A = this chain, B = another copy of it.
Amino acid sequence: MSSEPVTSRPTLSTARVIEAAVALADREGLDGLSMRELAQRLGVVPMALYKHVANKDDLLDGMVDTVWAEVEAPSSDLGWREAMRRRSISLRSALLRHRWAVGMMESRMRPGPANLSRHDAMMGCLRRSGFSFRTTVHVTSVLDAYVYGFALQQKTLPFGTPEESGETAARKLEATPPELAAMYPHLLEVVAELARAGYDYDAEFLTGLELVLDGIEQLRPGWATADRAPRPPIGGHG
């Protein structure tokens, strides 16, 4: 009696709605994601979606947690530096696959389970590696700022590949009227160099990441001697 539906259109579910919404946003951007368009792609009437998500904001909550689920949770087995490096690279990769998610990863009012578990793993890794509470916050703050900020820049800048960036820069350079070139000599000089040598986002990200990790290494209290959380310094943390 209860024969499986063999059609290519499985019945709607919250998971399927979220999955389709992510796919739509990946392809068309956040502006292209409307409840009406999403419904059409799923072959249902717009109001049918509201059986599976409370509203668009609820849908976005689910989409963001889908992205979090793709982020590698740091494990303290690797040592904090390798763990933080891998998590940062993994977070950036997820944000490259889902550019619409940049700026939404920390903003949801009701964080989902994947979000919570990844943050818990981050805190656990740092605390177990001997960072104090306060320093754990510093590390999280500066690393997240760097990764989110870099992803934001890349999402936002007008070129993709190294070659493309060189070409874009070169074209812009040629199109620059002489009076502008005279007003912004240093900017033009650097853009010309980029046009010559190309601009590789991945390499740039890794360079900056090591720079930030070096800074964190210095921040770690007792980094040169102890391997576990030392007693707090007399003056507090300031």
Which residues of A approach B to under 8 Å, CB–CB? Answer: 102-104, 106-107, 109, 116-117, 119-121, 123-124, 127, 133-134, 136-138, 141-142, 144-150, 152-153, 156-158, 180, 183-187, 189-190, 193-194, 197, 199, 204, 207-208, 211-212, 214-216, 218-219
Pull 20 A–B residue pairs with CB atoms less than 8 Å apart, ordered by A.
A102-B103, A103-B152, A103-B156, A107-B157, A127-B190, A134-B197, A137-B204, A141-B153, A141-B204, A141-B207, A142-B146, A142-B208, A144-B153, A145-B145, A145-B149, A146-B212, A147-B149, A148-B149, A149-B149, A214-B214
Nearest-CB residue, chain B, relative to A116: B184
Shortest CB-to-CB span from A93 to chain B, Å, is 16
Copies held by the complex = 2
Residues of B near A187 (CB, < 8 A) are 116, 119-120, 123
Complex CA gap A219/B207 in Å reads: 10
- Compute how far the CA of A149 lies from the CA of B189 in the bound complex, rounded to whole angstroms: 27
How many angstroms between the C-alpha atoms of A107 and B156 in the bound complex? 5
> In the complex, A187 Cα to B186 Cα: how many Å?
46
